[in-house]
Chains A and B, each alone.
Chain A
Amino acid sequence: MIAVEDVTYTYPGAGSPALLGISAVIEPGSWTALVGANGSGKSTLARLLNGLLISSEGRVVVDGMDTTDEDRAWDVRSRVGLVLQNPDNQIVGTVVEEDVAFGPENLGVPRDELRRRVDEAIAAVRLTGLERREPHLLSEGQKQRLAIAGALAMRPAYLVLDEPTAMLDADGRSDVLDVLRELQAAGTAIIHITHDLAEALLAQRVIALQRGTIAYDGSATALLADDALMNALGLEAPPIARLASALRGAGLDVGAARTAEDVVEALWPS
């Protein structure tokens, strides 16, 4: 598990802390959505989870390893994969397939296994055909997919994704969510940062940050049902949920409809 113990983090030169007294435990194999307004501290927490940032107070312990322990830094990073919000900050290879291979190669993964992992990761994010392309010549959505492929090839026990779908089209989003579902089924813990509450609904647990503190930690459905809290946190229900709730107001119960198909099926059963 990842144990975040009373963590406070202040950026060098910043007047106030970006995170203040955060505590949470992330269990192996769990799926957590991390939500909150711009600047609430989501990316900061993500970077603390894999030791990219080290807290000024409190500590983060990954499967027994304290992230302040420099001797274990590489172990921590290979257990906790992180897909950064801006893929440009993460891409290191000169061509797509080298970039994906970079992490596992450094882990000492043998050649054959490496080839297999790279091909699988590239296929999973649908970048097949672009293996030899220079990363800076990709479109932004293609770069985002590349950053995800790089993390997949590491086969981390915990995968932290910072707004991985922000720059993707609808198909790309569902591809990524499908990949996450498969990973979780295979035992990977998912920590998914998003502004899209429809995506957060896939998680068993939602943590909402507000100005650097945890303002909510519970189920997505309970959060969505609490209009006052949603408002206070600057969150917004997905349009389909607003449609369903307006239908309920008109006396038509469409249950927990999450897609347009669900709504129509409830109203006009086929």
Chain B
Amino acid sequence: MALVADALSYTYGSGTAFAASALTDVSLALEPGELVLVVGATGSGKSTLLRLLSGLLEPDAGTVLVDGEKPGRPGRVGIVFQNPETQFFAETVFDDVLFGPRNLRFPDAEDAAREALASVGLPAESFGDRSPFTLSGGEARRVAVADVLAMRPAYLLLDEPTAGLDREGRDAVLAAIAVARERAGVLVVTHDPEQFLPVATRVLALASGSAAFDGSVGELLEDPVPYERAGLSLPDVVKAQVLARARGAAISSIALDPVRAAANLAEARGALR
């Protein structure tokens, strides 16, 4: 059981004067229970990779297999687009979220929709009757996440699921992802790796369409050079410890949490004195 992408390449507008290569030879495996982070600069190919994994685009080279099959079977792979409004179509928020589970003939479709909305902090009682097109930016993103959670897919592909969210919304989405992950594989594209690194299993960093780093979070923290060389910046809290090490501070293991990072720095500072 896994979503496996092998050596994917993709060029937009192949054969035209505007042909632009967006992804070159990228491989990835996502198993239930895993959380893979995909990071990279603007235009590095992250959303293109998601379109290929979900079967929205066909790769020019390479293959995508979802539990051994070509992608496309309804309900297996759920994708949340980077621009949430592009995925809404129903007249009300509740109908938008209900559409997936109902189409998949869940016997408890309404409950699935209600639970999904509650899990992102937008109770159906207050938001269910609203038009999805009149929501605030953060509310819209949360509904987009609920749309996909309600379908209980085996693989969740989330493009910037926390962008524009306030603290409460972000914490709700992180908690919902943690629950979904008990049975699903989750892939998150983000410009804010800080929030996801503590719970991620792997990190794939893209630079100009190619993998610049592919490894565990531990590997990334212990040797961030390839990551930084790809033009990506480490979270401030991590960077402080990496810089401190470069100045001779003895830090045995890099912490992601600000409080633990402070303890690391304080201890090293004491030891130096």
Q: Are B240 and A243 in contact (CB under 8 A)?
A: yes
Q: Given A242-B258, A243-B237, A260-B240, does the pair A167, B160 have CB atoms closer than 8 Å?
A: yes
Give B137-156 as 1s and 0s: 1 = Cβ < 8 Å from A's Cβ atoms. Answer: 11100100000000000000
Which range contains the number of A residues in contact with the other chain?
35 or more
Q: Are A37 and B168 in contact (CB under 8 A)?
A: yes
Closest-by-CB residue of B relative to A132 is B18
Q: Are A170 and B191 in contact (CB under 8 A)?
A: yes
Q: Are A140 and B82 in contact (CB under 8 A)?
A: yes
Q: Are A246 and B259 in contact (CB under 8 A)?
A: yes
**A residues in contact with B236, CB < 8 Å:** 238-240, 243, 259-260
Q: Given A38-B136, A239-B235, does the pair A252, B265 have CB atoms closer than 8 Å?
A: yes
Partner of B262, one of A163, A169, A238, A243: A243
**A residues in contact with B265, CB < 8 Å:** 243, 247, 252, 263, 267
**B residues in contact with A28, CB < 8 Å:** none
Q: Are B247 and A247 in contact (CB under 8 A)?
A: no
Closest-by-CB residue of A relative to B141 is A38
How far is it, in angstroms, between the C-alpha of A167 and the C-alpha of B18 when the chains are bound? 25
A30 at the A/B interface (Cβ < 8 Å)? no
**B residues in contact with A243, CB < 8 Å:** 236-237, 240, 258, 261-262, 265
Q: Are B237 and A142 in contact (CB under 8 A)?
A: no
A188 at the A/B interface (Cβ < 8 Å)? no
How far is it, in angstroms, between the C-alpha of A246 and the C-alpha of B269 when the chains are bound? 14
Partner of B167, one of A137, A142, A234, A252: A234
Q: Are B47 and A139 in contact (CB under 8 A)?
A: yes
Q: Are A267 and B43 in contact (CB under 8 A)?
A: no
Q: Are B138 and A39 in contact (CB under 8 A)?
A: yes
B106 at the A/B interface (Cβ < 8 Å)? no
Q: Are B232 and A264 in contact (CB under 8 A)?
A: no
A106 at the A/B interface (Cβ < 8 Å)? no
B201 at the A/B interface (Cβ < 8 Å)? no
How far is it, in angstroms, between the C-alpha of A230 and the C-alpha of B44 when the chains are bound? 35
Q: Given A168-B42, A240-B236, does the pair A39, B247 have CB atoms closer than 8 Å?
A: no
Task: Return A18 CB to nearest CB of chain B, in Å.
Answer: 9
A113 at the A/B interface (Cβ < 8 Å)? no
**B residues in contact with A250, CB < 8 Å:** 262-263, 266
**B residues in contact with A39, CB < 8 Å:** 136, 138-139
Which 10 A-B pairs rank lowest in CB-CB distance, beginning with the nearest? A38-B138, A141-B42, A246-B262, A260-B239, A242-B258, A260-B240, A250-B266, A170-B233, A243-B258, A37-B166
